Amino acid sequence: MPKSITIAINGRWLLAGKLEGTGWYSHSIIKRLVELHPEVDWHIFYDRSPKAPHIYPGVKSHVLKPAARHPWLWSFWNEWLVPRKIMKIKASIYWSPDGLLPSRKSLKGYQIKLITTIHDLNFVHRPKEIPIKVGNYYREVCSRSAKESDRILAVSKTTKNDIISTYSKNKKDIDITYNAPQKDFTPLSEKQKKTAQKNFAKGNPYFCFLGAFTPRKNLKTLVYAFNKWSLLNPNSNHQLVIAGRSLHQDEELNTALKNGSKKILLPGFIPRNQLNNFFGGATAFVFPSYFEGFGIPIIEAMASNCLVLSSNSSCMPEIANDAAHYSRPEDIEDWVCALNFAVKNEKDVELLKKKGLKRANYFKWEHSVDQVWKSFQEILPNEK
């Protein structure tokens, strides 16, 4: 039976074993989308040879080289390689889940519907925290992509409103496709919690953080707060486990860590199959970030039955709702009190954890997949 429509997708973030926010979003939606709609002629553009689980049955894979891992190569990939492949396969829709679309100019009049997902606009609002060339590229291309796209997907209401105010986009042209926790995030048994403490914190109770090390994550404040809390609680053997990899240089964090407690542990990147244990074994997940588009670790921690201590800025109150304990991002005393709350208020903590399990269950990839498909239909009404 002939396919009804040809849809191409940017799969550049689908790096096996190295998925972070945009990659998880891409994979979680693409996997379900192509299964639900086999009538579509699906094409995915990679910049490296794809590996399982990012090779999807019934989907045509195209590796467009060279790999786009630098602003100049991003431009070459988006403005030269992608348009030519789009025209060659005669795609009707091109979806880029990273906010970066090829320009209409590069498509040379080829009639195609363009749709993109914008996760956040941190490069607009916090430009000094990003390398100059990276920031310049994102500011220029994301702005142009927003204006030239037929439809935009946002990962939160906060991001949607930011897109409207920053790019003067009509709110009717923006749909919300939330992130969600993977289904294997569940509460741990007491025995499993002890094992997690042994694996991640030398057998001690611990607070945890997970994410890329960038200034906007505000890790310096977390380090200062934990150092002060440790001094005020000398008999506590709680550790602070900060997991993730450095993305952008953060000298303030480096200074804080040099002068920090020996109870601060830096395990580096934690594999996907260990994250449930990482969150579930912790006393609390601490997220002092200034700015997020969604904040996936928040709901992953909640789904693991872990208390969430979050900043009250950006989208965090939207995502965590009434299931987190909030602090002001830069207020060290606030965070010291938050750590105290996590350790000394058992009844209130258990209530928040129950709310967290319920809140995490509110976000489902199936809902976002349905919305992506509706968005495709919206820009191609004759293909319904």
Inform me whether the pLDDT recorded for 313 exceeds 80: yes
Q: What pLDDT digit, counting tens, does each position of 151-200 carry?
A: 999 999 999 999 999 999 999 999 999 999 988 899 999 999 999 999 99
Structure tokens at 332: 């060290």
If we measure between CA atoms, which residue out of 162, 183, 180 comes closest to residue 171?
162
Q: Which of 124-133, 193-202, 342-351 has the lowest mean pLDDT?
A: 124-133
pLDDT at 249: 63
pLDDT at 71: 84
pLDDT at 253: 77
CB 170 within 8 A of CB 147: no
CB 182 within 8 A of CB 23: no
Strand order in the sheet with 325-327: 264-268, 239-243, 206-210, 284-287, 308-311, 325-327
CA 163 to chain centre: 17
Q: What pLDDT digit, counting tens, does each position of 264-296 carry?
A: 999 998 988 999 999 999 999 999 999 999 999
pLDDT at 1: 37
Q: What pLDDT digit, counting tens, does each position of 219-240 carry?
A: 999 999 999 999 999 999 999 9
Name the H helices within the chain: 21-36, 71-76, 82-89, 122-125, 132-148, 157-167, 190-201, 219-232, 251-258, 275-280, 296-303, 316-320, 332-344, 346-362, 365-379
pLDDT at 282: 98
Domains of the chain: 5-179+364-383 (3.40.50.2000), 190-362 (3.40.50.2000)
| Total length of the chain | 384
Q: What pLDDT digit, counting tens, does each position of 56-66 carry?
A: 999 999 999 99
Confidence category of residue 254, pLDDT binned at 50, 70, 90: confident
pLDDT at 248: 57
pLDDT at 247: 58
